[in-house]
Structure 1
Amino acid sequence: MTRKTVIVGGGIAGLATAALLAEEGDDVVLLEARAELGGRAGSWSSDGFRFDTGPSWYLMPEVFDHFFHLLGTSAEKELDLVRLDPAYRIYSGDDAPVDVVSGREASTALFESIEPGAGGRLDAYLDSAADAYELAVSRFLYDPYTTTEGLRDPALLKRLPTLLPLLARTLSSHIEKRFTDRRLRQILGYPAVFLGGSPYAVPSLYHLMSHLDLDDGVLYPRGGFVEVIAAIERLARARGVRVETDAEVSRIVTEGGEVTGVELEDGRFIAADHVVSTADLHHTETKLLAEKERTYPEKWWDKRVPSFGALLVLLGVRGELPQLAHHTLVFTEDWRSNFEAIFGKDTRIPDPASLYVCRPSATDTGVAPEGFENLFVLVPVPSDPSLGHGGVDGDGDALIEAAADQVIAQIAETCGIPDLAERIVVRRTISPGDFEADLHTWRGNALGLAHTLNQSAMFRPKNASRRVAGLSYAGGSALPGIGLPMCLISAELVVKRLRGDSSPGPLPEPARSAV
């Protein structure tokens, strides 16, 4: 009999899971609570500007390639990918801006020019990062951890003397032993933010992230990340997936410890043999399931660490902004206090803040009218929805709009754009209160569970309920973790579990002649 599957949530994890399960032969219905698909990888348009409202770095391209290969196509066919040069620009304190160009030769030359001897140390650092990345992809990220088979592999056990120290110390301490210059430390430490955390908290194993931007390269899908969502939606629909928007699930229905379907806010019941929730895991567990059915009850969450929250500032700006690259990172000099403000005991919106500015109009003429620029600004802030809600044209809550004003002033001063505020013609803010209200995220966090040691790999929530048969999970709070590539892998882990595949590596791809 054909398995009937309901997918809860239409972000990248939901769409990817739907496409893969439809490829497996399932009869799939995808239900998205909002009017548009994409989830965190959303989109907003106004007056000829189109903004991505979430992910903006295309990293781990081989994960995207592998996912598309599983569906008989390729990233090259589905997306128009552009390599960014420079990969990004940094402003740090009063120092001159630094352009970071991907590639071993360019990155080691940059480090050497800033700190004599750092080029050779970076070369060794990136060798280690590449080795750790290969280990992660081949041994950890695609492992469903249904058994300890992958962890007991003799080849992995031989590497424990190298691996264990990387787990025992923080990323910041790993970097600070090797590099002195503040800017170099920040270039190597910033990837912790991609993991939802702080370089002072995530394990140094995650130095592997530097392999992605310094060795591998940074790409951009022309049209924006909405095109990634559109491509996966297209593949899902082509396999018969039925997609409903404005369809919020209010309850996962069970009988005798087994899933039987879902109930919607409009009162409908949709029967299913299998339900995959890609909604925020805390919302799924504490709102969509009865207390006795929860694998991760509220007391479990009391001991967990969310990613940072985010203040997003979307700006349409008149005139050109050559001071900003496609990706620009603005770092404060006192970095530790910046992260302490976000993750410490007495949290607050950092001021000044370390922040990220995406200027996609540097690469893509379709995201802004001619003669204008498109800016997406992300400010990591505490995961605290009580900070308030954002709005359009300054009509958000006072604290949020005041913080946005300060961020705009900071960019203007640091990056040498004194008239930036006067040139803004479109403005929208999004805050932790909006993440909680619109996406049901736990504590208004921006990305999911932070990648601390006890929230990584086998310690992260698994992709299936322990209490309800036929209920699976995918997305940024479940295995393997945060980010678009991780969400694609989480969809694949659902398939692996259903196949009874406990291997640590990715699924075999179909013959390349089919691509």
Structure 2
Amino acid sequence: MKKTITIIGSGFSALVASCYLAKDGFDVTILEKNHTVGGRARQLSKDGFTFDIGPTWYWMPDVFEKFFADFGKKPSDYYHLDKLNPAYEVYFGKVDSIKIPDNLADILFIFEKEEKESAKHLNDFLDKAKHNYDVAIKDLVYRPGISITELITPATIKKANQFFSSIRTTVRKKIKNHRLQQIMEFPVLFLGAKPSNTPSFYSFMNYADFGLGTWHPKGGMYEVVKAMVTLAVELGVKIETNQNVEKINVENGEVKSIVSNGITIESDVVLSGADYHHTETLLEEKYRGYSENYWDSKIFAPSSLLFYVGFDKKIDNVSHHTLFFDTDFDVHAKAIYDNPKWPEKPLFYASFPSKTDSTVAPEGTEAGIFLIPIAPGIEDTFEIREKYFKSIIERFEQLTNQKVSENILFKESFCVNDFVNDYNSYKGNAYGLANILTQTAFLRPKIISKKVKNLFFTGQLTVPGPGVPPSIISGKIVSDLIKKQFTNI
């Protein structure tokens, strides 16, 4: 008799875990709260436009390749990838931007043009970053976060000092040009923490950026979700949508069943890819591994105010990914991490996938996604959203030297309240726990429940952390642990 596994949620980590577990012989069912799969990586379609609601960056292609290779597949079996050139563009002022090319030689040329001898410094920095990438992605991040000993290897002992110095300190030791500093500090924002609080070991994100490049799956990131769903179904995974899990039943310290839409479903194992904090509220209090005080004391990665905009014309002077660093990042960061409130002059990001992909917008139009990082848990109202949309569109027009406000066909927004309502996200966070030193590896919430046998967790609140590639890795880690627990199947 096959062991049954019920997975709560259908985000990247849950889909990945379902594939491995089905391959290993488990009877796997995914229960998704919403009417479509993908978790935070859902898709919005409107009037011929297509938007990724969640992740828009495709970095670390080797992680995706490794996942599909474990099933004898390749990403190209499911979706087409284009390497972006430029990878992205960064605005610092009016008609003042730097485009990051798709190869290191051209990147080095741009750095040297901005600051003499910076190309050499960048090359030296990236040599170390590549080594860190090899250590991290090929070894450390696939460890389950059970013990500190996982971090103690010959390679990490040599790099111990990198865990106690910051990315900011390392970058600014040799690079003095502020524009270049911002470009080099940008990748660690994917980890959900300030560069000043992120260990310099995470320079491997710079190698992911400059060394591996930025890619786009034709049709958007949701094509990756569709690929994983196709693979999961081929492997025998059952996926049910509109399933609101209301309770996890435990007897004598062991999970027995879940209640979804009022119906009890027995299960040998429950794996939650949903919000960790929310999942524990489905348990009786005595079975919860972490208190409310614990969660309240954690440093969370930002939430986001997002806008999905259809324009009736093509937008000039922007790239597929465009970052607007024309205001002070440190001031904005304080409004996220130190004194949570709405920022006065936020940095923002815009994605125009139709610059690369003609399938996501009608001919002659442009699909635009705008994102402002904000603190989780702050007030979210229609009036606030409108105020910030007006503000960033005005800045966008000034910085890119064009008028677009009269060319908006429609806009949709997504913010703190939506993260709570759609994903049961703690305080409406968008990316999980920040990857600072005190929340790294074994210091993150555990994949294996501390109090309930056969209850497991996966996703951005546990190891290895925020982002799509880490979520894929998290799904692999938890599936290995479950398989190990049932080696007799």
Category of TM-score, reference length = shorter chain: over 0.9
1:288 to 275, 282, 285: 282
> What residue number does 1:429 align with?
413
Task: Tell me how large the CA RMSD over aligned residues is.
Answer: 1.5
CA distance, structure 2, for counterparts of residue 178 and residue 378 of structure 1 = 31
> What residue number does 2:3 align with?
3
CA distance, structure 1, for counterparts of residue 298 and residue 132 of structure 2 = 25
After TM superposition, the structure 1 = structure 2 runs for residues 118-157 of structure 1, keeping only pairs within 5 Å, are: 118-146=118-146, 150-153=150-153, 155-156=154-155
CA displacement, residues 220-264 of structure 1 (integer Å, 9 cap, x when unaligned)? 100001100000001111111111111010111111111111101
> What residue number does 1:323 align with?
317
Query: 1:147 Cα shift?
Result: 5.3
Query: 1:316 Cα shift?
Result: 0.5
Which secondary structure state, in structure 1, belongs to the residue aligned with residue 322 of structure 2? strand
CA contact (8 A) 1:464 1:473 kept: yes
Which secondary structure state, in structure 2, belongs to the residue aligned with residue 72 of structure 1? coil
CA contact (8 A) 2:11 2:41 kept: yes
Which secondary structure state, in structure 2, belongs to the residue aligned with residue 253 of structure 1? strand
Query: 1:365 Cα shift?
Result: 0.7
CA displacement, residues 159-189 of structure 1 (integer Å, 9 cap, x when unaligned)? 424x222211222222121211111011111
CA contact (8 A) 1:332 1:352 kept: no
Same amino acid, percent of matched pairs:
33
Normalised by the size of structure 1, how large is the TM-score? 0.91
CA contact (8 A) 1:326 1:359 kept: yes
After TM superposition, the structure 1 = structure 2 runs for residues 10-89 of structure 1, keeping only pairs within 5 Å, are: 10-89=10-89
Query: 1:94 Cα shift?
Result: 4.4
Which secondary structure state, in structure 1, belongs to the residue aligned with residue 246 of structure 2? strand
CA displacement, residues 419-476 of structure 1 (integer Å, 9 cap, x when unaligned)? 2111110101111111112111111111111111111122122211011110111111
CA distance, structure 1, for counterparts of residue 442 and residue 149 of structure 2 = 12
CA distance, structure 2, for counterparts of residue 401 and residue 36 of structure 1 = 27
> What residue number does 2:192 align with?
196
CA distance, structure 2, for counterparts of residue 81 and residue 33 of structure 1 = 30
Query: 1:148 Cα shift?
Result: 5.8
> What residue number does 2:464 align with?
480
> What residue number does 2:362 align with?
369
> What residue number does 1:505 align with?
none
- Show structure 1 runs of 5+ residues with no match: 389-396, 502-515
Change over 3 Å in CA distance of 1:93–1:335 after alignment to 2: farther
Query: 1:500 Cα shift?
Result: 3.1
> What residue number does 1:313 align with?
307
Query: 1:138 Cα shift?
Result: 2.7
Which secondary structure state, in structure 2, belongs to the residue aligned with residue 319 of structure 1? coil
Query: 1:80 Cα shift?
Result: 0.5
Which secondary structure state, in structure 2, belongs to the residue aligned with residue 92 of structure 1? strand
Which secondary structure state, in structure 2, belongs to the residue aligned with residue 325 of structure 1? coil
CA distance, structure 2, for counterparts of residue 448 and residue 150 of structure 1 = 22
Query: 1:110 Cα shift?
Result: 1.1
After TM superposition, the structure 1 = structure 2 runs for residues 244-255 of structure 1, keeping only pairs within 5 Å, are: 244-255=240-251
Amino acid of the structure 1 residue aligned with 2:279: T
Amino acid of the structure 2 residue aligned with 1:280: D
Amino acid of the structure 2 residue aligned with 1:357: A
1:352 to 345, 349, 354: 345
Query: 1:352 Cα shift?
Result: 2.3
Residue 304 in structure 1 maps to residue 301 in structure 2: no
CA displacement, residues 458-504 of structure 1 (integer Å, 9 cap, x when unaligned)? 21222110111101111111111111111111111112212339xxx
1:242 to 238, 244, 248: 238
Query: 1:93 Cα shift?
Result: 2.9
CA contact (8 A) 2:95 2:401 kept: no
CA contact (8 A) 2:341 2:378 kept: no
Amino acid of the structure 1 residue aligned with 2:46: S
Which secondary structure state, in structure 2, belongs to the residue aligned with residue 223 of structure 1? coil
CA contact (8 A) 2:350 2:368 kept: yes
CA distance, structure 2, for counterparts of residue 301 and residue 348 of structure 1 = 19
Normalised by the size of structure 2, how large is the TM-score? 0.96
Change over 3 Å in CA distance of 1:398–1:152 after alignment to 2: closer
CA displacement, residues 196-232 of structure 1 (integer Å, 9 cap, x when unaligned)? 1221222222121110111111111000011000000
> What residue number does 2:162 align with?
166
2:401 to 409, 416, 420: 416
Query: 1:95 Cα shift?
Result: 6.6
CA displacement, residues 96-129 of structure 1 (integer Å, 9 cap, x when unaligned)? 2111013221211111010011000000011111
CA contact (8 A) 2:272 2:456 kept: yes
> What residue number does 2:388 align with?
403
Query: 1:297 Cα shift?
Result: 2.0
After TM superposition, the structure 1 = structure 2 runs for residues 110-121 of structure 1, keeping only pairs within 5 Å, are: 110-121=110-121
Which secondary structure state, in structure 2, belongs to the residue aligned with residue 408 of structure 1? helix
Which secondary structure state, in structure 1, belongs to the residue aligned with residue 195 of structure 2? coil
